[in-house]
Structure 1
Amino acid sequence: MNEPQVWVLIGVFAASMFGMITVVSTLFIHVVKAEIGGLRIEVLGEIRALDRDVTALYRNTFGIDRD
């Protein structure tokens, strides 16, 4: 354990592991943000469709002419 080469290898291994953890966590956060954005768009589309359906039912039920 007193050899300089051993300490260099330990340092290189530690630096590479730290770098890999950083890259993987950054990519994971990017994927999660993209999925949340897609889900937000999908939910907003469903809400708009539901609002349109409720408006149509309201107009039909209370006798309001459709435009």
Structure 2
Amino acid sequence: MQPVNDPQIWTLIGVFAAVMLGGMTLTTTLLMRTITASIGGLRGEMNGRFDGLRGEMNGLRGEMNARFDAVETKIEHLDRDVAALTRKVWGETER
């Protein structure tokens, strides 16, 4: 067996460094792809849920507008009836 000299040691150090750097690069690339795909899936799921929530809010808005219109109509009728009773009690004639 021959003794190991300086050029062989530096060659082994270089090969080891290249293998380690390549492995880290590969691992980082694969990890970034996985994270990007996961974030994309999460983004799609959140958009779907927000769209559903937006639809429910629009339905609620329509229902509340209908109820407010009904209350407004009842108040208008009540105002008309109170005005008629007031005229009758005070003996005023209709305008």
**Interval containing the TM-score (normalised by the shorter chain):** 0.7 to 0.9
Residues matched between the structures, number:
64
Q: CA deviation at 1:4?
A: 2.8
Q: CA deviation at 1:25?
A: 0.8
Secondary structure of the residue aligned to 1:62 is helix
Percent of residue pairs identical: 41
Aligned partner (choices 7, 11, 14) of residue 10 of structure 2:
7
Equivalent residue for 1:32, pick from 32, 35, 46: 35
AA paired with 2:58? Answer: T
Gaps of 5+ in 1: none
- Deviation per CA, 1:21-62: give whole Å up to 9, x if none: 110111111111111111110111111011111011111122
In 2: Cα distance, 1:41 partner to 1:3 partner: 57
Larger RCO (alpha carbons 8 Å, 6+ apart): 1
Matched, 1:42 2:45: yes
User: TM-score scaled by structure 1?
Assistant: 0.81
C-alpha distance in structure 1 between counterparts of 2:19 and 2:60, whole Å: 61
- Compare CA radii of gyration and give the structure with the larger one: 2
The alignment's C-alpha RMSD in Å is: 1.8
Q: What residue identity is the alignment partner of 1:28? A: L
TM-score normalized with structure 2 length? 0.60
1:56-67 pair list within 5 angstroms? 56-63=59-66
Q: Which shows bigger deviation, 55-64 or 17-26?
A: 55-64
- Give 5+ residue unaligned stretches, structure 2: 68-95
